[in-house]
Amino acid sequence: MGNCQCFEGFGIPKKESFKVCICGGATSIGQQLALLMATNTMVKELSVYDLEGGMVPAEGVATDLSHLEFPCRVKAYSLPAQARPVKDLPAACLEGCSLVLVTAGVPRKPGQSRKDLLQVNAGIAKLVVEACAKRCPEAIVGLIVNPVNSVVPAMARLYEKKGLDPRRIIGVTTLDVVRANKFVFEATGAPVDSINVPVIGGHAGKSVLPLFSQEKACADLSLELRKSLDVRVQDAGAEIVRAKCGKGSATLSLGYAGYLLGSAVLNGLAGNRTTECAFVKSNVTELPYFASPVTFGPRGVDRVHQLPRLDNYEKERLKEAKSILQAEIKMGLDYAESTDLAI
């Protein structure tokens, strides 16, 4: 194989090009994500999968992307809403994929509980995840499906019940890092490409905990300002919804964040170990799932980093975040005990 070699001393095939699938690739988020992944020179083939009947068909997105001056081959796949991808999606969509990014599900409606939202969106995610379990069980599956704090544990547990690696399922929380970095830049004027704020915990509200104490650009910021930045990161999604007058949510920034996480995974698979924050099965705390810096390597998740020394404010916030996470993780695990992947 002309584009493979082995890591010295490990015998692990080193790849320089990969097949990627975007599930939900014709959605507002999926199109941005597909555009950026198509420009990644490590992506040799991109599958764009979505349901029929959307505002834009998957075929249209794939054709549009196929005109970009990059070596990536783009192919479209679509199914009617009532179809089951595990048996109806052509095998060629997922077979050979190293990375599957799933942007799917419905937004939370006013008054809707997280449990009700989970029942809907976990069901949607499960359709894709069971197809991945059948067609590309070694692929990293990055979920951009709310509520991430519950959907990821649910899907990872379903993988585990089938004897598959639960760390193949990861929650994409990179947007929290992107936001924290940008807000620190605005507050300090430090070079934005030098800022790297780790964001731990979960991916909703007060479960999100940016560790500004770990970024040297924040050293001179007052505690009150750091507290306000913390709240802004937590509420940043609502900031976008208000600016869009309720007619949309984060799409462009979320597509970009998904691209960063996807690129980190591919870099790792190619032998260039790369670290990004992600929500994964973890022993960093007493909780079974947690977002923290994760290093991706040739086998996928290579290392889930332990927490650094926190300041007093962050220690109190961590207690709050863990309390919220504990209930939301349990909700996902309870869902997983009520069903199985149909493979």
**Which distant-in-sequence residues (6+ apart) come within 8 Å of 253 by Cβ?**
175, 178, 179, 240
Residue 162: phi and psi, rounded to 5, are -95, 10
Cα–Cα distance for residue pair 88/291, rounded to 1 Å = 34
Catalytic residue among 15, 134, 179, 203: 203
For residue 68, which amino acid is it? L
b/e map of 273-311 (b: 16 or more CB within 10 Å)?
A: ebbbbbbbbbebbebbbbbbbbebbbebbeebeebeebe
Pair of tokens at residue 199 = 């964001």
Tell which residue, 305, 304, 300, 306, has the closest CA to residue 267.
Answer: 300
Pair of tokens at residue 144 = 């951009």
For residue 305, the Cα-to-chain-centroid distance in whole angstroms is 17
Task: Give the SS3 label for residue 80.
Answer: coil
305 is catalytic: no
Residue 324 CB burial class (10 angstroms; 0-12, 13-18, ≥19): middle
Pair of tokens at residue 43 = 């992506």
Catalytic residues: 203
